[in-house]
Amino acid sequence: MFTRTENFQTFLKLYPVVSFLVGIHIFFWLLFQLSIPTLQILLSLLDGYNAGIANGEYWRLVTPIFLHISFGHLFFNTISLILFAPALEQLLGKGKFIPFYLGAGMIANIATFLLEPQQYSHIGASGAIFGLFGAYLFMVFFRKGMIDQANSQVIISILVIGLIMTFFNANINIVAHIFGFIGGFALAPLFIKKRGQFVHQTFYSPSNVKKISLRKIGIKHILWMLFGFLIMMGILFRLT
C-alpha cells in the first residue's frame, strides 16, 4: 500500500495529482530561496497569517498547504506525499482526491485560525497529510476489506506515534495536526462510499505496469515500509 516501485514516468502517469503537488512544493520552495524582495512580499501574502484571514484574505486558508521554507520541511512533506498519497488518489480518482486533500488541509487551517492568536502564522502541508491518515483510519474501522491487517496496524501505529509526538515539539502546529486528522476522518465517508477490495493488494511494475502480488516483494517491501516509518518520524519533527 505504501510501497513505491514505479519508475518516474510510471509514477507521473498513475498519480498525476500527487505528482503535481510535489512539483508545486518544489517550485515554491525554489522560488522563495531567491533573495528578491518582491518574492518575499509574495510569501508574506500566502502564508497562514491569522490577522490577514481576519481581514478577509481567505486565500490564506489554502495557500499555506503548498509552502515550505527549509529544505528539511520540503523534503519530509514531499516524501510523505510520495509514500502515503498515491494509494488514496488511486482509490478516489483525481476528481475526488483533489477536494478531499484540499478540504482536509483547509479544515486544519480554519481550526488554526479559530484557535490560535491573530498574530499566529504558519505554512506547510501537515494538516492535509494528517487528513490522509484520517481517511485511512476511517477505512480501517468502517470500510473493512479495503485495507489489510498489516497496513491497518501500520496506520494505527503511525497515528498513535504522531499524535503523541505532536505535543513534544514546539515547532509543530498542534491544531493543524489534530484537526487535519479529524477533517480527513470526517470527510472520508463523503468520498469513500463503497466496500470492496482496495489497491493495497497490488502494485504496478515500473516496466510493464502489470499487477503483481505484494507477497512477491519480500525484503524490498519490508525496506520500503521501514523507510516510510523513518520518513514519518521526520514529519513529526519537521512539519509546521
Catalytic site residues? 126, 177
Residue 50 and residue 119 in contact, taking contact as beta carbons nearer than 8 Å: yes
Question: What are the residues whose beta carbons fall under 8 Å from the beta carbon of 59, sequence distance 6 or more?
Answer: 46
CA-wise closest residue to 84 among 29, 170, 2, 150: 2
CA-wise closest residue to 32 among 24, 50, 79: 24
- Beta-carbon neighbour count of residue 13 at 10 Å? 12
- Beta-carbon neighbour count of residue 148 at 10 Å? 16
Q: Is 234 exposed, middle or buried (0-12, 13-18, 19+ CB in 10 A)?
A: middle
Q: What is the largest CA-CA distance in the chain?
A: 56
Q: Which residue has the cell 517550485?
A: 27
Phi, psi of 67, deg, nearest 5? -105, 140
- H or E stretch covering 213: strand 211-213
- H or E stretch covering 203: strand 202-204
